[in-house]
Amino acid sequence: MWDQIKEFASEFFVTGDPLIYGADVSIVLTMLAILFVLTYYKKWGWLWSEWITSVDHKKIGIMYIIASILMLFRGGVDALLMRAQLVMPDMQFLQADHYNQIFTTHGVIMILFMAMPLMFGLFNVIVPLQLGARDVAFPFLNALSFWLFFAGAMLFNLSFVIGGSPDAGWLAYPPYSEKAFNPGVGQDFYVWGIQISGIGSLMTGINFIVTILKMRAPGMSLMKMPMFSWSVLSSCIAIIFAFPILTVTLALLFMDRFAGTHFFTLDGGGNPMMYINLIWMWGHPEVYIIVLPAFGIFSEVVATFSKKKLFGYKSMVFAMIIISVLSFLVWAHHFFTMGSGADVNAFFALTTMLIAIPTGVKVFNWLFTMFRGKITFETPMLWTIGIIPNFVIGGMTGVLLSVAPADFQYHNSYFLIAHFHQVIIAGVVFGFFAGLYYWWPKVFGFKLNERIGRWAFWLWNIGFYLCFMPQYALGLMGMTRRVYTYGWDKGWFEMNLVSTIGAVIMGIAFLVQIWDIAHSIKHMKRDTTGDPWNARTLEWSIPSPAPLYNFATLPQVTSQDDWWERKLRKEAGQEARTAETLEPIHMPKNSGIPFIMSMFWFLAGFGFVFDWLWLIIPGLIGVAVSMIVHSCNYDTDYYISVEEIERTEAVIGKVNN
Summarised one tens digit per residue, pLDDT across range 217-236 is 999 999 999 999 999 999 99
Helix (H, G, I), strand (E, B) or coil at 385: helix
Taking the C-alpha atoms of residue 351 and residue 329, their distance in angstroms, rounded to an integer, is 6
Span 610-623, average pLDDT = 96
> Is the distance from CB of 607 to CB of 196 less than 8 angstroms?
no
Could you write out the three-class secondary structure of 225-253? CCHHHHHHHHHHHHHHHHHHHHHHHHHHH
pTM beyond 0.85: yes
Taking the C-alpha atoms of residue 475 and residue 227, their distance in angstroms, rounded to an integer, is 37
Taking the C-alpha atoms of residue 53 and residue 598, their distance in angstroms, rounded to an integer, is 12
Taking the C-alpha atoms of residue 397 and residue 206, their distance in angstroms, rounded to an integer, is 34
> Is the distance from CB of 331 to CB of 280 less than 8 angstroms?
yes
* Measured CA distances, 159 to 24, 74, 184, 185, 655 (Å): 12, 13, 11, 8, 49
DSSP annotation of 295: H
3-state helix, strand, coil in the chain (%, to 5): 70, 0, 25
pLDDT given at position 339? 79
Containing 640, the helix (H) or strand (E) segment is strand 637-640
> Is the distance from CB of 162 to CB of 27 less than 8 angstroms?
no
Beta bridge partners of 586: 639
Helix (H, G, I), strand (E, B) or coil at 413: strand
For the chain, how far is it from start to end, CA to CA, in angstroms?
73
Residue type at 216 in one-letter notation: R
Could you tell me the pLDDT band of residue 579, with boundaries at 50, 70 and 90?
A: low
Taking the C-alpha atoms of residue 485 and residue 416, their distance in angstroms, rounded to an integer, is 18
Query: DSSP of 21-87, one letter per residue?
Result: HHHHHHHHHHHHHHHHHHHHTT-HHHHIIIIIT---HHHHHHHHHHHHHHHHHHHHHHHHHHHHHHS
Query: DSSP of 179-212, one letter per residue?
Result: TTT--SSHHHHHHHHHHHHHHHHHHHHHHHHHHH
pLDDT given at position 2? 74
> Is the distance from CB of 587 to CB of 638 less than 8 angstroms?
yes
Domains along the chain?
A: 42-547+557-571+585-656 (1.20.210.10)
Residues 6+ apart with CB under 8 A from 519: 449, 452
Residue 575 has pLDDT above 80, yes or no: no
Taking the C-alpha atoms of residue 206 and residue 514, their distance in angstroms, rounded to an integer, is 33
Span 268-294, average pLDDT = 94
Arithmetic mean of pLDDT over the chain? 92
- Return the closest-CA partner of residue 434 out of 407, 465, 461, 473: 461
Could you tell me the pLDDT band of residue 495, with boundaries at 50, 70 and 90?
A: very high
Summarised one tens digit per residue, pLDDT across range 127-140 is 999 999 999 999 99
Span 167-172, average pLDDT = 93
Poorest-pLDDT segment among 187-201, 353-367, 450-464, 605-619: 353-367
Summarised one tens digit per residue, pLDDT across range 415-469 is 999 999 999 998 899 999 999 999 999 999 999 999 999 999 999 999 999 999 9
Beta bridge partners of 585: 640
pLDDT given at position 655? 44
Summarised one tens digit per residue, pLDDT across range 47-93 is 999 999 999 999 999 999 999 999 999 999 999 999 999 999 999 89
Residue 657 has pLDDT above 50, yes or no: no
